[in-house]
Structure 1
C-alpha cells in the first residue's frame, strides 16, 4: 500500500464513537507521519469528569486544546495526525491559531451507528450517556475551514481510504 506524504498536520475530529482513535493511526500510517492520541493530552481532572458522566466545559477544554495545538505546531512542515473532538468552531480556531496549517478530517455518521459502536468499545472513559451532549455541541466544518467530512459507515480500512481520497481531493488546486 502506497503512502501518501503530507506536510500538513491532520486533526481527526468528530463526536465520541466516530472512530478517531481507530482511524487516526491508520490515516497516519497511510500518510507516513506520526500519530498522537488526543485523549492522552487530557489532564486527569478532565478524564475523571467524563468518567463520572459529566460533559466538559470550554474552560476544561482550553488546556487540552492548547496541548494538542502545541503538538501540532511542533509538527508543522513535518506532518502528523492527531485526534481531537474539535466539536466547536472556536476549538478549531484555537488549534489553527497554534498551528495555522492544520487540516481537519471530520468523521461523521448516523447517530445510531455511532451509539452502537460506543456501546461495544471497552476500556474507554467516555460513557454513551454523553453522546447527546456531543451532538448538541457539534458545529460541523464551515466552508472557510480547511477540511473534509468523511462518513464512518463501513470498516476502518474503507473509512481510511475515503479520508485519504478526500485529503487528496482537497490538495488539488481548483480551476
Structure 2
C-alpha cells in the first residue's frame, strides 16, 4: 500500500498557494490547511507592520506545520506554506520525509507583484514581496509549475508529475 501524500504548496506570497492547495486537496480527497493560519500573533503583527520575518520568527511556526503533517500522515494533507529556504523545508519534512512532495509555484517578481496589488484583506503587505524573493532558495527537488497557467491546469500538471515521481 502506498503512503498517503503530504503536499506542501510553496512559494512567495501571492503565488497562489491557497488556491492551488485547496484544489489539490479536493483532487486527492485529503484535508487542506493554510499555513498562514498557524502563524503566532507576533508574526502576523510583525508582517502587518511591514517587517519581514527572520529564521527565529519562523522556527516555531515551521515546527507546528511539521507536527500537523505528522498528525495527518495516515490520511495525507495539503499545506500552503511559503517554505522559502531549504532549511525550512527540512524542518517541514522531519519524520514524514518519504511522504512529502513540495509543489513550487514559480513566477517572477513582476507577475506576483501584480497579483498582490489586486489582493485585499491579507496581513502580508505587498511591500514585503522583495524580502521573500531575497530569502527564496529555489528548490531542486520540488514539482515546479508556472503560475501563468489557470489553477485547474496547474493542478492537472502537478498530479501528472506527482504520479511519475511519487516520494
Q: Counterpart of 1:106 in 2: which secondary structure?
A: strand
Offset of 1:77 from its aligned partner? 3.0
What aligned pairs does 1:1-175 form with structure 2 within 5 A after superposition?
A: 7-100=4-97, 101-142=99-140, 145=141, 147-171=142-166
Q: Which has the higher contact order (CA 8 A, sep 6+)?
A: 2
Structure 2: gaps (5+ residues): none
Determine the C-alpha separation between the residues in 1 that align with 2:88 and 2:82: 9
Determine the C-alpha separation between the residues in 2 that align with 1:72 and 1:157: 25
Query: What is the number of residues matched between the two proteins?
Result: 165
Structure 1: gaps (5+ residues): none
Does the 8 Å contact 2:5/2:77 carry over to 1?
yes
TM-score (norm 1): 0.89
Does the 8 Å contact 1:66/1:98 carry over to 2?
no
Offset of 1:6 from its aligned partner? 6.8
Determine the C-alpha separation between the residues in 2 that align with 1:148 and 1:63: 26
Q: Provide Cα deviations, 1:130-152, integer angstroms capped at 9, x if missing partner.
A: 1111011001112xx4x311111
TM-score (norm 2): 0.93
Q: Over the residues paired in the alignment, what is the CA RMSD in angstroms?
A: 1.6
Offset of 1:110 from its aligned partner? 2.3
Determine the C-alpha separation between the residues in 2 that align with 1:152 and 1:159: 8
Determine the C-alpha separation between the residues in 1 that align with 2:18 and 2:112: 13
Q: Counterpart of 2:94 in 1: which secondary structure?
A: helix
